[in-house]
Structure 1
Amino acid sequence: MKKLIILLALIFSASFAHAHTIWINAFESHGHGAHNAMVCLGWGHALPMDDILNSTNGRIAVERFELLDPSLKKTELLKPEFKLAEPKLSNGNFDLFAADLATQKIAFKESSAPGVYQLGAVSRATFYTQYIDKKGKKRLKLKPMDEIKDIQKVLMAVKYQAFAKSCLTVGAWSAPNPLGHGLEIIPRTDLSNLHAGDLVEVDVLFEGKPPKGMQHITAHSGSFGQSDGFSLFSKVKKGKAQFRVQSAGQWMISTAHKDDVTQDGPLKDLYGKANVVSQAASLTFNVQ
């Protein structure tokens, strides 16, 4: 029970700068006339790498990790195994863990279709139901409400999922299409040729539509503000947000959104399973 509560706290705080977030690292190279990209998944707090995805301090299951070409044709990429990490070596000073971050190389060809290739990662959707059972005890289960038989009173019933994106450009940039993530940040600025001081514009979609109510994005970089926890902040208005990148290096935009489940609303398929849908999204890119 205690371990489940700790894991729940880590996951639900993923939208804040001090908590775990999932993102995609993508670094392109044009050495020796080739066009390659080294990609991997990031998890934790600080770009580009902070923790392993199956860490004992908080883990996340990756359901999909894929590359979509300019026509949105999908190719499944290697993804890490969801198994709690155990140290391969332990001594009085430290524990040594193997790190599977789904690191892999994408080697483009001369015949590669030009345009924007999108990297997308989706975590496994997970239900969290906290309730008081028929004996008066507080419990927490990783199941939807309708699969739990001894509920007297529901305290919290949430469906959580996280999404991450990054882009690779072959030839000229073109505005990428949405991938259909539950919560998605879509770049409308050419991310292949960004410099410090440039304006970055994005669209934010929740279930395919601009989110309602209070919504914002944050942006940070290891070269700007990360050491003291400082992030840029931009309100989302009618599904659109923007900010100016302040320095060269890798940047990440992130956002989170919660919506109530109602019997006749857009999330009606989850009625009876959860009371709230909570989602987080990130978009990473590099500034020259």
Structure 2
Amino acid sequence: MVVPTAADAHSLWINAHESHAHQPPHAIVSLGWGHRLPVDDILNSPNGRIVVERFAMIAPAGDRTALAPPTAALAAPIAETGDVTVFAADLGAQKLAFNADSAPGPYQIEAVSQPNFYTQYIDTQGRTRLALAPRDAVEDVQTVLMSVKYQAFAKSIVTVGDWTEPAPLGHDLEILPRTDLSALHVGDLVEVDVLFHGEPLSATAQSLDFITAQGTGFGQSDGFALFSYLKEGRAQFRVQSAGQWIIMVNHKQDVTPDGPLADLAGKAGQVYTGASLTFTVH
């Protein structure tokens, strides 16, 4: 199972690889899950599963086209030996084939996970356990170590013709690029806005919100990332290498009996929301 609060928690992202070898262009999109771009684990892995509630493409004018989501059923082995267990991999891969009359502008690809509850606890026999359930639904509990509700929002952008700033999609937590992501080169400055329920998210004394950024050629293999605090909802950084990059942000809210998340009292101690945005640097 996945524990979103852990340092090694899984992340959800979208891979969108454009091909301009022939015109009109096309893009191959798929979903990433785990720790390292572009592919790390299967989304229905026994080691940590996420269920994609919505997978779609949004055209420049705002029209939404549903994409085929990967299977939600927990993966079962298709072969086993003394050395290896083999699982089929459904990453939601599909081709977006544009035509000569396709509207120019940014086509946003979105993936939204099903909200999940995670409760880590010590049972009455002294064993540390993890349940994919709210705290009040777990039995045989001696001590609750952690109880959270988690949801992930992922985006990527495929550009046809000239870039224009994409409109917000209304995700609970959303990263909006303010830089042309279709023509980035090493050393360019990338600016983003981060919205939480439609409002700018900023670092405060209660919640030191920030973005991280890393790429296949920078940071990822060494376990570090660029870091920028959010000020009035905005952050920025310079891309350091060519290849695929990912920006991530996570926001934590505490559940209190008299707060805005009072309906979750007894079910979770915190609510974690994650968002990602992927792009390519030339």
TM-score normalised to structure 2 length? 0.87
C-alpha deviation, 1:35, in angstroms: 1.1
By how many angstroms is 1:91 displaced?
Answer: 2.0
Q: Deviations over 1:247-288 (max 9, x none)?
A: 110000111110123466554554564442111111100001
Question: CA 1:87/1:194 → structure 2, altered by over 3 Å: closer, same or farther?
Answer: same
Which residue pairs with 2:45 in the alignment? 55
The AA in structure 1 aligned to 2:97 is A
C-alpha separation between the residues in 2 aligned to 1:138 and 1:131? 6
Alignment partner, residue 253 of structure 1: 247
Q: Name structure 1 gaps, 5 residues minimum.
A: 1-6
What are the equivalent positions in structure 2 for 1:91-106 lying under 5 Å apart? 91-106=81-96
Q: Which residue of 1 aligns with 2:113?
A: 123
1:24 to 14, 27, 35: 14
Read off the aligned partner of 2:170 and give its amino acid letter. Answer: G
Residue aligning to 2:281? 287
CA shift in 2, pair 1:23/1:137, >3 Å: closer
2:22 counterpart SS class:
helix
The structure 2 residue matched to 1:183, chosen from 173, 191, 204, is 173
Tell me by how many angstroms 1:127 deviates.
Answer: 2.2
1:221-236 maps to which residues of 2 (within 5 A)? 221-236=215-230
State the alpha-carbon separation in 2 of the partners of residues 238 and 270 from structure 1: 28
- CA distance in 2 between counterparts of 1:73 and 1:185 reads 20
The gaps in structure 2 that reach 5 residues or longer are: none
State the distance in 2 between where 1:94 and 1:132 align: 31
Which residue pairs with 1:3 in the alignment? Answer: none
How far is the alpha carbon of 1:157 from its aligned partner?
Answer: 3.8
Task: Flag the 1:47–1:264 CA change in 2: closer, same or farther, 3 A.
Answer: same
What amino acid is aligned across from residue 228 of structure 2 in structure 1? S
2:197 aligns with 207
Partner residue, 2:5: 12
1:116–1:86 distance in 2 versus 1, CA, 3 Å = same
Over aligned residues, Cα RMSD in angstroms? Answer: 2.7
Distance across 1 between alignment mates of 2:119 and 2:97: 44
1:165 equivalent to 2:152? Answer no
Name the structure 1 match of 2:234. 240
* Corresponding residue pairs, total: 278
